[in-house]
Amino acid sequence: LYVQVLRRLTSGLVDILLKPQDAQCAILRGLARELLACAVLRPIMILQALGLDHLIHFPKLNALVNVHF
């Protein structure tokens, strides 16, 4: 469940963050997805799971994480 949610979140965010012509490159798209998941979203989800969500100052992202967990 955790991995599936992270994949769906990162795929959607990569679509938003990359330029359309860059999103066509499978290597760049995969690299961007993995970096986003490992360096940004995973630490935020770990803080959320540990109950340290008061350290996260992104209310919209915090609400999105709460929907899936």
Express each pLDDT in 11-34 by its tens digit: 888 888 899 999 899 999 999 988
Closest by alpha carbon to 48, among 35, 21, 67, 33?
Answer: 67
* Residue type at position 48: Q
Closest by alpha carbon to 65, among 23, 53, 54, 55?
Answer: 53
* Cα distance between residue 69 and residue 5, in whole Å: 9
Enter the pTM of the model.
0.59
Give the chain's mean pLDDT: 77
